[in-house]
Every structure is written in structure tokens, then in C-alpha cells.
Amino acid sequence: MMLDIKSIKKLLNVYPDITKSSPYGDDIEVYYLNEEMFALLYKDLNPVQISLRCDRLLAMHLKDKYESVLNGKDLNPNKWITVILSGQLSIDEIRDLIRHSYEITKQLK
């Protein structure tokens, strides 16, 4: 099932201490934890895409397994992935990747 923008925002907004802004333009919503980016939501793309922090080894595995998981868009490919929300990954997998990104970001401070 493809996730729409409203559904993905719900998944992102469940975490405490999150702020968001659009420093790169209205089409990219950036989610922060303690002033560190943990997610970038590309709202104007169809399907919607999201960039998330990710452990390097997990990222390699995901990119090998799914064609909808790519190197982080304009981000360090060793620390970020971009997921095309085409329905290839389940909502539970997307939720887990968002939580993973949040937890990595939480450890940065």
C-alpha cells in the first residue's frame, strides 16, 4: 500500500521533541530532533519520498533488497537513505525505519 502525505506525517509526528521547518523550500519538510535532522519529507514527488538516517550496514542490506531504497538524496550515503513510498515496503517497515532514524539522531547529542 502506498503511503500518502497525511499518513507519513502521522508516523513522523508521534515522537517527542520534534520540530519541523522547510529550509530548502516548501516542497521539502525537514524534521528535527534537538536541532539535528532526522527526516526529510519530499512532499511534491509522486510517489512521496522520505530521507532517513540509517546504519550503514542496514542501509546496504535495504538497498540490495528493495529498488525503492536509494542513497540519501543530496545527503551522506553512508548515513542516510531515501525511500520511495511506492508500496514496496510495508507501513510497519516504514515505521521501523523512522524509529531507527529517530534513535540514531537521539544518540547524536
* pLDDT tens profile 37-96: 999 999 889 899 999 999 999 999 999 999 999 998 888 888 999 999 999 999 999 999
Q: Using only the alpha carbons of the chain, give its radius of gyration.
A: 13
pLDDT of residue 74: 83
Angle at 50 between CA 69 and CA 61, to 5 degrees: 25
Q: Which domain holds residue 15?
A: 5-106
- Helix or strand or coil: residue 20? strand
Strand partners, 28: 42
- What backbone phi and psi angles, to 5 degrees, belong to 64? -70, -35
| CATH label of the domain that carries residue 46 | 3.90.1150.30
Confidence of residue 2 (pLDDT cuts 50, 70, 90): confident
Count how many domains the chain has: 1
Confidence of residue 1 (pLDDT cuts 50, 70, 90): low
Assess contact for 102 and 15: CB atoms under 8 A.
Answer: yes
Q: 0.85 exceeded by the pTM?
A: yes
How far apart CA 88 and CA 15 sit, in angstroms, is 24
